[in-house]
Amino acid sequence: MKNIMLVILIIAGLFLFMTKEDPIQNTYTDTTEPPKKIELDTPTNTYKRNVEALSISNTLQNPTSYLTSRVNSRESSKKSVNKANKRIEEQNKAMEALTK
């Protein structure tokens, strides 16, 4: 019985020893440092900024031009549906003429 209690205490002690937290190390400095990232004005960076500005300006459209483009797309889709319907009617007529 004493041996079992001794083994249990040793296991519990090892368990508590292994779960002990390590002390937190303070890695901050008291001095103020400038930011590390420095953006150089190179042709590549200038080009990237210009492309980004253009892509943003292209997404911002005048609402009337947006609505006009939507109306135009609806009209063109109606025209294409009418063409498809005419083609189907012609095919049906040709099939009827063939089966007669």
- Domain presence at residue 52: no
pLDDT of residue 43: 73
pLDDT of residue 25: 64
- Domain presence at residue 98: yes
Which residues form the domain of 70? 57-100
- Domain presence at residue 99: yes
Tokens of 62: 């005048």
Residues 6 or more apart in contact with residue 45 via CB below 8 angstroms: 39
- Consecutive sets of 10 residues in the chain, 100 residues long: mean pLDDT of each? 88 82 63 67 74 70 70 88 94 90
Q: What's the structural domain count of the chain?
A: 1
pTM of the predicted model as reported, rounded to 2 decimal places: 0.35
Tell me how long the chain is: 100
- Domain presence at residue 50: no
Buried b / exposed e over 31-50, threshold 16 CB at 10 Å, is: eeeeeeeeeeeeeeeeeeee
- Domain presence at residue 63: yes
pLDDT of residue 95: 92
